[in-house]
Amino acid sequence: MSTTVDTVPAATILMLRDGEAGLEVFMVVRHHQIDFASGALVFPGGKVDAGDSLVRNRCQGADVDDVNMSLQVGAIREAFEECGILLARAAGSDTLISGERLKALDAYREPLNSDEISIGDFLEKEDLYLACDLLHHYAHWITPDMMPKRFDTHFYLAVAPADHLAIHDGYESVDSVWINPDAALVGATEGTYTIIFPTRLNIEMLAKSHSVENAIAMANERKIIPVLPWIEARDEGKYLCIPEEAGYDISEELMG
């Protein structure tokens, strides 16, 4: 008898900027030894840690319930661990920490990633507050029932601070790139990049926006629904399906 694996809460951030080629998003290449989406071009993110739910007093603008607050915290923490961008403000400040301050915090990335220090201890020690108010809910995907490892993942948009240097961690991710959504899709078609189904559809949706401001406005106007893909067997083969009301260009695709 087959059993369905429980989902693990996870969060990811699409860090955005307006570049010479138009809208750009920061993406990383997953390490080949990672057991989920190894070698794929993805947005920085990962599973929510237990400590992510314990720092409401260190969050600004997290006017949501505890579950969603922990997702926002997890998204910001993972972005810091995986690409070195930290959406946080110093106590008493209404601006994000500077790139210079960020350099001094870089040594925390690996201990946070290895659970040697909790996000709460880090924030208390450095007297920082997470800028949850800068996150914009973008998508919600759940790994299909038949998969051996399953995640309940929330995607967020955020504007990348201009003076924060984004760079992959060298552990979970081995390469990184600021890329225009259309260029990412061309790279996937040509075989330059490996992009899994959920990532591809979210890039396709992002490609409809011509600027960071436009992308955020479109996300804020769209109704976000949970997307749990399923497989349908038909005469011509198996189709991977998602709800039409999710708002993507396609709702089904013939599996290769």
Three-class DSSP category at 171: coil
167 contacts 83 by C-beta, under 8 angstroms? yes
Confidence of residue 30 (pLDDT cuts 50, 70, 90): low
Residue with tokens 């390469």: 175
pLDDT exceeds 90 at position 107: yes
SS3 track for 84-112 = CCCCEEECCCCCECCHHHHHHHHHHHHHH
Q: Percent of the chain having pLDDT more than 70?
A: 93
Residue 174 confidence (pLDDT) above 90:
no
CATH fold of 7-222: Nucleoside Triphosphate Pyrophosphohydrolase (3.90.79)
Q: How confident is the model at residue 40 (pLDDT cuts 50, 70, 90)?
A: confident
**Nearest 5 degrees, angle CA 102-CA 140-CA 137?**
50
State how far the Cα of 136 lies from the Cα of 63, in Å rounded to an integer. 13
- Residues 45/168, Cβ–Cβ less than 8 Å: no
Give start and end residues of each alpha helix (H) in 158-211.
Answer: 181-190, 197-206
CA distances (Å), 161 to each of 107, 143, 227, in order?
19, 31, 30
pLDDT value of position 1: 46
Q: Are 130 and 13 in contact (CB under 8 A)?
A: no
CB atoms within 10 A of CB 156: 25
On the question of pLDDT at 160 being above 80, the answer is yes
Instruction: Please report which helix (H) or strand (E) contains residue 11, including its range.
Output: strand 7-19
Tell me the average pLDDT of the chain: 91
Structure tokens at 134: 């800068």
Alpha helices per DSSP H over 50-90: 66-83
Tell me the whole-structure pTM to 2 decimals. 0.91
Per-residue confidence (pLDDT) for residue 81, from 0 to 100: 93
CB 75 within 8 A of CB 156: yes
Q: What are the two backbone dihedrals, phi and then psi, of residue 50, each rounded to the nearest 5 degrees?
A: -60, -40
For residues 77 and 59, the answer to whether their CB atoms sit within 8 Å is: no
Confidence category of residue 36, pLDDT binned at 50, 70, 90: very low
pLDDT tens readout for residues 189-203: 998 889 999 999 999
Whether residue 3 is predicted with pLDDT greater than 90 in this model: the reply is: no
Residue 127, both tokens = 């007297």
- Please state the domain extents for the chain: 7-222
The CA distance from 106 to 244, in Å, is 42
Q: How far from the centroid of its chain's Cα atoms is residue 59's Cα?
A: 18
